[in-house]
Amino acid sequence: MAEDPVESLIKDTASVINDFASAETTHKKYLKSLETLTADGAASSKALKHVSYVSSQIKKDIHALNKSGTALTDEQKQKLQHAKAELDKVNEKLKTLQYDLPAENSGLYLSIILGSALNVTLLDANSRYRYKKDYESFKMTVTYVVLVMLFLCYMFPSRAIDALANFLLVWYYCTLTIRESILRVNRSRIKGWWVTHHYISCVIAGITLTWNDGECYKESRNLLIGLTAYVSLLQLLQHRYQTGCLRRLHSLGQRDDMDITVEGFSSWMFKGLTFLIPFLLVGYFVQAYCGYCLYAMYFSKKSCGEEWQVIVLSMLFFLVAAGNLITILAVVIRKVTTDSKLNITDLTAKYHPKKE
Ligand code: COA
C-alpha cells in the first residue's frame, strides 16, 4: 500500500529538524574553536614578541660586553659566541612562526581602500600558495586581453579604442597594486620598486587616457602601443618564470630530502634568469627610448611644447627605465652573492605546511 503523502512529508520534516539540530551543534563547536583560535593566536603573538624582545636585549648585552674591553677568557668568549649563534637561530625560527599569525596591520594603502577593520592575512601555507598562484594567473589573463586590445588599437586607429585600452591598463595596474599589497602583508618579498613601478604605470596609462587627441598624441601613439605590447610579452615570459619558481618552491617544501631539490631549484632559477634578463634589458632600453622621443618632441615641436603630458610622460619613462635597471642589477647581485640555501629554507616555509 502506498504511503500517505502527508505522513511522508511530516516524516521528512522531522528528519530535517534532526539534521538541523546536529548542524547547529557542529556550528557551535566551530564558533567555540574560532574563539579559542583567536585567543591562542593572540597569546602566541604575545609570546613570540616577548621572546624576540628578550633575545634582542641579550644580543645587545653580549655586544656591549665584547665592546667594553672586559678581560674574558677564551672559554668565556667561546661561550658568548655560541650563545649569539643560538639566538640567531631562534630569531630565524621566530620569523617562520610569524608567517602563521595575523599581521597587526595591513598598511596605509590597504586600510584606505579596504578599511582598517579588514584583516587580509592568509593563515595557512596552502592559502598563501593559492593566492599567489591566482595573482600570477590574473596577470597572465589580463595581459592576453591587453594584447588583443593593442592589436585592435593598431588595426583600427580610433580614440575610443585607445581610451578603452588605456582604461583597461589603469584598472589592471590599480588592481595589481592592491593584490601586491595583500601579498606583502602575507610576507611576500616583492621589492618595493616593482610595486612602485605598477603605481607609476597606472599614472602613465591615466595620463595617456586623458591626453588630447592632437598631433603629438597621434605621433606618439604607435610608439606607445609598441612599448606596451613589448612589456605585455615580457610579462608573459615573466609569468613562465614566476610560476615555475612558485611551483618548485611549493613542491620543494613537500619533500623530506631538501638538499637535492634545493640544488635543482637554484640551477633552474639561474637558467630562467639568464634567459629572461636580456629581454628585460631590451625592454628598459625601449622605455628609455620612448622617454627620449617624447623629450625630443617636447623641445623640438612648438605644439608639443604646450602639452604637459609629453614632458611628464617622458620623465616617467626615464624614471621607470632607470628604476627597473637598478633594481634588476640589485636582484642579480643579491642572488649571486647570498647564501641561496639559507634563503630557500626561509622561502619554502611560506608555501608549505609544517609537518609536526
Ligand atoms: N612583479 C611582481 N612580483 C615580483 C616581481 C615583479 N616584477 N619580481 C619578483 N617578484 C616577487 C617574486 O614572485 C617573489 O614573491 P614571493 O616572495 O611572494 O614568493 C618575490 O618577489 C621575491 O622575488 P626575487 O627572488 O627578488 O626575484 P625573482 O627571482 O622571483 O624574480 C626577476 C626576479 C628579475 C625575474 C623579476 O623581478 C622580474 O621579472 N623583474 C622584471 C620586472 C619588470 O621589469 N617588469 C617590467 C617590464 S618592462
Rank 40-44, 70-74, 101-105 by mean pLDDT and report only the highest. Answer: 40-44
**Domain-terminating residue out of 71, 98, 125:** 98
Is pLDDT of 356 > 50?
no
**Host domain of residue 47:** 5-98
Same domain, 133 and 87: no
Q: Is 158 contained in some domain?
A: yes
Q: Is 356 contained in some domain?
A: no
**Domain-terminating residue out of 69, 98, 127:** 98
CA dihedral 38, 41, 46, 49 (to 10 degrees): -150
Same domain, 197 and 303: yes
Same domain, 57 and 152: no
Q: Is 106 contained in some domain?
A: no
The verdict on the CB of residue 242 being under 6 Å from ligand 1 is: yes
Same domain, 86 and 140: no
Rounded CA gap, 211 and 217, in Å? 7
Is pLDDT of 255 > 60?
no
Identify the residue whose cell numbers are 586607429: 157
Q: Is 134 contained in some domain?
A: yes
Same domain, 174 and 75: no
Same domain, 142 and 287: yes
Q: Is 228 contained in some domain?
A: yes
Q: Is 17 contained in some domain?
A: yes
Phi–psi pair at 214, nearest 5 degrees: -95, -165
Which pairs count as long-range contacts for 50-59, CB under 8 Å and 24+ apart, including other chains?
51/90, 51/94, 52/91, 52/94, 55/87, 55/90, 55/91, 55/94, 58/83, 58/87, 59/84, 59/87
What is the percent of the chain with per-residue pLDDT over 70, rounded to a whole number?
92
What is the pLDDT confidence band of residue 266, given thresholds at 50, 70 and 90?
confident
Q: What is the pLDDT of residues 149-185, one digit of tens each?
A: 999 999 999 999 999 999 999 999 999 999 999 999 9
Res 119: pLDDT:
85
**Domain-terminating residue out of 39, 67, 98:** 98
Same domain, 27 and 153: no
What's the Cα-to-Cα distance from 257 to each of 161, 267, 300, 343, rounded to whole Å? 54, 17, 64, 17
Same domain, 127 and 218: yes
Q: What's the mean pLDDT when you consider all of the chain?
A: 89
Same domain, 140 and 72: no
Rounded CA gap, 87 and 16, in Å? 58
Same domain, 54 and 129: no
The verdict on the CB of residue 241 being under 6 Å from ligand 1 is: yes
Q: Is 104 contained in some domain?
A: no
Same domain, 87 and 218: no
Is pLDDT of 62 > 70?
yes
Q: What is the Å distance from ligand 1's center to 245 Cα?
A: 10
Same domain, 68 and 152: no
Q: What is the Å distance from ligand 1's center to 190 Cα?
A: 6
Q: What is the pLDDT of residues 178-220, one digit of tens each?
A: 999 999 998 888 999 999 999 999 999 999 999 988 889 999 9
Please give the tally of structural domains in the chain: 2
The verdict on the CB of residue 280 being under 6 Å from ligand 1 is: yes
How many C-beta neighbours within 10 Å does residue 176 have?
21
Q: Is 103 contained in some domain?
A: no
What is the pLDDT confidence band of residue 345, given thresholds at 50, 70 and 90?
low
Rank 21-35, 260-274, 290-304 by mean pLDDT and report only the highest. Answer: 21-35
Whole-prediction pTM value? 0.84
More confident residue, 247 or 316: 316
All residues at 6 or more sequence positions from 140 whose CB lies less than 8 Å from its CB, including other chains: 235, 236, 239
Query: Does residue 3 sit in helix, strand or coil?
Result: coil
Ligand 1: nearest atom to the Cα of 276: 35
